[in-house]
Amino acid sequence: MNRFVTFTAALAAASLLSACVFAPPSNYRTDAADVAKMGEQAIATCGAGNVKEVNAKSFTCK
């Protein structure tokens, strides 16, 4: 019985520590419309002249 508990605990720990990692496809292409939409949002949020960087998914302010 003690070996069964040990084996079950080891199996549970191994299954909890293993993880499935999802990565987006490497051939993802950004659309110019997505960048333009994010640019408009950046200007509205940061103010004109205060936008540091814009890409299809995010932006940063100065």
What is the per-residue pLDDT across 23-59, written as a single tens digit (0 to 9) for each?
A: 666 666 668 888 899 999 999 999 999 999 998 889 9
* Residues whose CB is less than 8 angstroms from the CB of residue 31 and which lie 6 or more positions away in sequence, other chains included: 56
Q: Looking at the chain, list the stretches that DSSP marks H as alpha helix, in order from N- to C-terminal side.
A: 2-17, 32-46
**What is the phi-psi region of residue 35: left when phi exceeds 0, alpha when psi lies from -120 to 50, beta otherwise?**
alpha
- Domain ranges in the chain are 31-62
pTM of the predicted protein model:
0.51
If pLDDT is split at 50, 70 and 90, which confidence band does 22 have? low
Q: Name the token pair of 43.
A: 């200007």
pLDDT attached to residue 16: 67
pLDDT attached to residue 51: 92
